[in-house]
Amino acid sequence: MMKLSTILAMISFSLYAGEVDEVKAAIHSSWETIAKGKDSGLTHPEGGWIATSEGSFWSFDSPQDNKNRIENSPNTLNFKPYHINVEIYGSKNDIAYAVYYLAGTIDRDGKVVVSNYRTRASSLMKKENGKWYEVGSHYSPMHLGSGVKFD
């Protein structure tokens, strides 16, 4: 009986680890795409709640709102995520909570306008049809770091 429970625990951990890796990959891919000035498509098709590091209030954004914020900004957000920690929840392992740090620069017309962008990030994500989507996100500048500038 002990062997069976050990095997089941290993299978469960393996499935959980795969979901964590998927979420981390989605976050990395999203910020790589955003650094190219393009929307990553990570926002849930029905939209999501966001509070940006510029100190904004919570707002519910559609995917088009998010796309406009990124693609219509004169600035390029050159951020990389670091120290991503993910917890998976839900009976179907379809809810993820991720916390991480973002660091990088913000450029405009080939010049750095923010040289020390550092912020804390948290994301609530939901998996639908095999893809992870962001349904909520919060970004807050770190001490001595600068928040985001969209215009």
- pLDDT higher than 70, residue 4: no
CATH of the domain at 55: 3.10.450.50
> How many domains are contained in the chain?
1
H/E stretch holding 59: strand 59-61
Tell me whether residue 149 is in a domain.
no
- List, in sequence order, every residue forming a beta bridge with 89; answer none if it has no partner: 95
pLDDT for 98-149, tens place per residue?
999 999 999 999 999 999 999 999 999 999 999 999 999 999 988 766 655 5
Q: How many CB atoms are closer than 10 A to CB 67?
A: 16
Which of the given ranges, 1-10, 14-23, 140-149, has the highest pLDDT on average?
A: 14-23
Tell me whether residue 147 is in a domain.
no
Tell me whether residue 150 is in a domain.
no
Q: How many CB atoms are closer than 10 A to CB 12?
A: 11
pLDDT of residue 6: 53
Quote the domain boundaries for residue 16. Answer: 2-141
Q: Determine the Cα–Cα distance for residues 44 and 134; give it in Å rounded to an integer.
A: 5
List Cβ neighbours of 39 (8 Å cut-off, separation of 6 or more): 33, 63, 66, 67, 70, 71
